[in-house]
Structure formats: structure tokens, C-alpha cells
């Protein structure tokens, strides 16, 4: 509908109730935050004909009003956050307060987060020669601006180390190379789609990525886990990939924590993926 509006043709989407938050987020992300729509209670797919007709008739007047009336622009609701201060009797209590706050705002993955202090982010940035304000990509599905500093912040929160940062940056850049409509559609689908991160090259041994029993927990998979988690955090907090907004997965999947494995090129009978 946004693309139709951009051609100069008025368009009003019909949005089912559970997709309203997604419509708000999508209209902002795709460049038309003032896009108007009408809301119906049920999703049209597989809906009985009479219910399709009745819920559409109920919003016809509202739809015509959207097409013919001047409507105030929707407030974006997006605010910049220069930093937050958490005070408590000790650092542990402060970290707990930070986690309650950030997880409550859906800025985490439900697991404990590491504090992205200014010092921790500066240390993380020592893992790359790129400047903090370097733009790696517009990250799907919401096309947030993925700077090196933003990637570093999310990597700190995930528990990654400075030497892991180049891999996370490379993963963010790689996902942006997916054809925009296809990548966006997969990430925003009601099906349980999720990226799967495969690492190859000398960096495997240098950093300790694991190629065997690599999707599970444990000591051997520590690097796999934190790099995959950092990548997933970037998706959420830079790409706006939030459940119920720009991720409309009906059931959900643990794969959205994003698994990261090392390609076992030495033992594989096939050519590596990069060939």
C-alpha cells in the first residue's frame, strides 16, 4: 500500500486486529508513518465468505473517510536515548534493575543482558578498525541504520568479546545483501523463519568456533552462542525485528535466538558454501 501511495494513488490498507502494532512499525520503517488504515477483527485468509463480507461492510464508511478526509499525521513515538543511569545498593542490583527495564521494553531476548556501559562499548570497538559511525547497512526488516557503534552495543549486551565484533559486523552486512523484498518477507512472515549463521575460514580456529554438536549449549559452543546472540540482538534493536510488530510468527521458534556454527570444511565431503 505504501508503494501505491508513493505513485500518487490514495490507498487504505485493511488491517486485522493482531497486526495493528505491525502496521504502525511497518509504516514508520518503510517511509510513510502517516499512512492511514482501517481495522477489522479477523484475518481474511480461510475466513467464511459471510464473515469476510460483514467485517468489510462494517468499515466501508471509515475507509471512505480515510480516502477523502485530511487526517493528522501519526506521531512517530520514536525517541532517541543518549544513555541511562541505574542506581542501587551494589552493582549486582543495578544490573538486575537494568535487565528488568530493558527486557520490559522488549529490548532483549528474555535472557540476562550484559551492561553496555560506555567503557564496555569502547573496549568492544577495539575489535575493529572501522570508525564507530561507519554505516554497515540498513538492517532488515525495519531498515534501521546499522552503524558499527550500534552493532558493538548489542554485542556487549549479548556477552560477546572485541575479537568477535568483526564476525558480527560481517553477518549484519551479509543479511543486508539478501534481495530486499525476499529477506523482508521471510523475516516478517507468520511462519517460523530465521537466519542461520555459518562461519568459515581461519577465524574458526582463531576464535574457537565449534563445528561439531555446534547448535547445543556448553563450553565448546560458547563462541557460537554469543556471536549468534549478538547477531540476533542486532536484528531486534537495529532492524526492529520484534515479536508482534515486524516479526509476525504465529508460533515462534527457538531458531530466532539465531544459531551460529562453524563449517567443518576438513571433514565435509562437499564443497564449502563460499565456493
Annotate the chain with DSSP letters as a single string. Answer: -HHHHHTT-----EEEGGGHHHHHHHHHHTT-TT---EEESS-STT--HHHHHHHHHTTHHHHHHHHHS--PPPP-------------SSHHHHHHHHHHHHHHTT-S-SS------HHHHHHHHTT-SS-TT-EEEEETTTTEEEEHHHHHHHHHHHT--GGGHHHHHHHHHHHHTS-HHHHHHHHHSSS-----EEE-STHHHHHT---SSTTS-SGGGHHHHHHHHHHHHHHHHTT---BTTTB--SS--GGGG--EEE--TTT-SS--TT-
The pLDDT, as a whole number, for residue 134 is 98
Tell me: the pLDDT tens digits for 114-136? 999 999 999 999 999 999 999 99
The pLDDT, as a whole number, for residue 6 is 77
Tell me: the pLDDT tens digits for 224-255? 999 999 999 999 999 999 888 888 888 888 88
Tell me: the pLDDT tens digits for 50-98? 999 999 999 999 889 888 887 665 555 555 667 889 989 999 999 999 9
Tell me: the pLDDT tens digits for 143-181? 899 999 999 999 999 999 999 999 999 999 998 887 655
The pLDDT, as a whole number, for residue 80 is 60
Non-local (6+) Cβ contacts of 174 within 8 A are none
The pLDDT, as a whole number, for residue 191 is 84
Pull the grid cell for residue 173: 552486512
The pLDDT, as a whole number, for residue 120 is 98
Q: Report, as an integer, the average pLDDT of 172-193.
A: 78
pLDDT more than 90, % of the chain: 53
The pLDDT, as a whole number, for residue 179 is 61
**pTM of this structure:** 0.82
Q: How far apart are CA 207 and CA 193, in angstroms?
A: 28
The pLDDT, as a whole number, for residue 252 is 87
Partner residues linked to 260 by β-bridges:
197
Lowest average pLDDT, out of 25-39, 176-190, 191-205, goes to: 176-190
Amino acid at each position: 500500500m505504501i508503494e501505491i501511495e508513493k505513485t500518487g494513488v490514495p490507498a487504505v490498507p485493511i488491517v486485522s486486529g493482531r497486526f495493528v502494532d505491525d502496521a504502525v512499525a511497518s509504516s514508520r520503517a518503510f517511509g510513510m508513518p502517516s499512512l492511514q488504515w482501517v481495522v477489522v477483527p479477523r484475518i481474511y485468509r480461510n475466513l467464511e465468505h459471510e464473515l469476510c463480507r460483514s467485517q468489510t461492510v462494517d468499515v466501508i464508511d471509515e475507509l471512505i473517510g480515510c480516502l477523502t478526509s485530511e487526517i493528522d499525521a501519526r506521531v512517530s513515538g520514536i525517541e532517541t536515548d543518549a544513555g541511562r543511569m541505574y542506581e542501587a545498593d551494589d552493582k549486582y542490583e543495578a544490573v538486575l534493575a537494568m535487565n528488568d527495564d530493558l527486557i520490559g521494553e522488549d529490548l532483549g531476548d528474555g535472557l540476562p543482558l550484559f551492561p553496555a556501559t560506555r567503557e564496555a562499548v569502547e573496549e568492544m570497538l577495539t575489535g575493529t578498525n572501522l570508525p564507530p559511525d561507519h554505516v554497515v547497512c540498513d538492517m532488515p526488516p525495519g531498515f534501521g541504520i546499522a552503524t558499527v557503534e550500534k552493532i558493538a552495543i548489542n554485542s556487549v549486551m549479548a556477552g560477546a568479546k572485541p575479537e568477535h565484533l568483526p564476525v558480527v559486523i560481517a553477518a549484519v552486512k551479509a543479511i543486508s545483501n539478501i534481495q530486499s523484498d525476499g529477506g523482508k518477507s521471510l523475516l516478517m512472515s507468520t511462519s517460523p523463519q530465521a537466519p542461520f549463521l555459518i562461519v568459515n575460514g581461519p577465524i574458526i580456529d582463531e576464535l574457537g568456533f565449534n563445528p561439531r554438536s555446534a547448535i547445543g549449549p556448553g563450553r565448546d559452543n560458547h563462541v557460537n552462542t554469543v556471536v549468534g546472540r549478538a547477531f540476533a540482538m542486532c536484528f531486534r534493536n537495529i532492524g526492529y525485528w520484534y515479536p508482534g510488530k515486524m516479526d509476525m510468527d504465529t508460533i515462534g521458534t527457538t531458531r530466532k535466538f539465531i544459531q551460529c556454527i562453524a563449517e567443518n570444511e576438513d571433514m565435509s565431503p562437499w564443497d564449502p558454501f563460499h565456493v
